[in-house]
């Protein structure tokens, strides 16, 4: 089991619901992933269009917890208002807090992020901030009351994996008691496994599954990678070294003098 705030989740893999070829393939991928929590959003919709209503009905049928996001918000005010709207729309105080600061990389505006967290946490929100691996920002977010941090692996949708393993390792070491989930930029199951081997508590995947040739199969692969990576972390990987160490004992080797 995996604890996020006061919730016990059965999977360390969180899955996004966007960019799938169809709603039914999205549903199939969610089931195949075993994810217990999926991210959702809220957008403008014309009256009578009802696509959002159909989507919401489908998500509810999946029996998973939802984590609304504030994707696309560029200011504290936008993010806070969107969080308020999401709380009513999805009937949950959980929010993946995004304040975007740069359009090419979708890098979070970490200053705005801290400000928004300081508004939302006292209002009872369970804030999961999409942040970078910056230790000082992480410290401010934790001080604001965030019990979970979601640093990026790489820019959203880039599939580059873990751009800064050193920074992520430092973050893990500095915040041993904080739940850390790598969010964004993961492209393959091996990236997810690497994050878990570093000791991260979970990963959030969207594009890498949704845009795969077979999303459900990729979802299953990610689930296995997350489990394998977490088990490896618990098992304690050996430190890397530059020179060889024989694995087969030399004692008793034949043809020695």
Partner 1 sequence: MKIRVNGSWLDLPDSGADAGSPAAGVTLAALLPQLGFGDATVATAVNGQFVPHAVRSGCLVREGDRIEILAPMQGG
Which residues are part of the catalytic machinery?
A: 96
In the set 4, 13, 32, 71, which binds partner 1 (CB under 8 A)? 71
What is the smallest separation between the CB atom of 71 and partner 1, expressed in angstroms?
6
Token pair 């979070």 is at which residue?
108
- 156 is an interface residue for partner 1 by CB under 8 A: yes
What is the smallest separation between the CB atom of 167 and partner 1, expressed in angstroms?
22
Smaller CB separation from partner 1, 22 or 247? 22
Q: Kindly write out the interface string for residues 89-118 of this chain, putting x where it contacts partner 1 by CB under 8 A and - elsewhere.
A: xx----------------------------
Beta strands in 76-234, from DSSP E residues, in sequence order? 94-97, 100-102, 107-108, 126-131, 148-151, 179-183, 202-205
- 123 is an interface residue for partner 1 by CB under 8 A: no
Query: Which is it for the CA torsion 108, 112, 115, 120, positive or negative?
Result: negative
- 33 is an interface residue for partner 1 by CB under 8 A: no
Q: How far apart are CA 154 and CA 188, in angstroms?
A: 12
Q: How far apart are CA 146 and CA 103, in angstroms?
A: 25
Q: How far apart are CA 60 and CA 54, in angstroms?
A: 10
Smaller CB separation from partner 1, 21 or 174? 21
The sheet that has 126-131: what strands, in order across it?
A: 13-16, 202-205, 179-183, 148-151, 126-131, 94-97
Residues in the site for partner 1, rule: CB under 8 A? 16-20, 26, 39-53, 55-56, 59, 68-69, 71, 77-78, 81-82, 84-86, 88-90, 156-157, 206-207
């Amino acid at each position: 089991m995996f604890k996020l705030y006061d919730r016990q989740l059965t999977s360390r893999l969180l899955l996004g619901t966007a960019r799938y070829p169809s709603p039914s393939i999205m549903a199939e991928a969610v089931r195949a992933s075993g994810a217990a929590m999926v991210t959702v959003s809220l957008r403008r919709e014309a009256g009578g269009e009802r696509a959002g209503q159909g989507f919401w009905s489908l998500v509810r049928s999946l029996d998973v917890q939802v984590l609304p996001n504030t994707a696309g918000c560029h200011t504290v005010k936008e993010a806070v208002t969107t969080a308020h709207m999401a709380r009513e729309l999805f009937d949950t105080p959980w929010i993946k807090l995004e304040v975007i600061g740069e359009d090419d990389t979708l890098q979070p505006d970490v200053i705005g992020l801290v400000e928004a967290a300081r508004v939302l946490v006292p209002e009872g929100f369970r804030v999961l901030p999409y942040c970078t691996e910056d230790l000082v920002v992480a410290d401010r977010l934790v001080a604001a009351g965030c019990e979970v941090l979601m640093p990026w692996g790489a820019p959203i949708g880039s599939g580059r994996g873990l751009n800064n393993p050193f920074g992520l390792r430092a973050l893990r070491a500095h915040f041993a008691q904080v739940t850390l989930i790598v969010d964004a930029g993961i492209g393959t199951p091996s990236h997810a496994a690497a994050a878990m081997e570093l000791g991260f508590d979970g990963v959030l995947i969207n594009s890498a599954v949704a845009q795969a040739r077979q999303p459900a199969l990729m979802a299953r692969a990610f689930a296995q990678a997350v489990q394998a990576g977490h088990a490896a972390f618990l098992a304690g990987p050996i430190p890397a070294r530059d020179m060889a160490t024989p694995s087969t004992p030399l004692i008793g080797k034949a043809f020695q003098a």
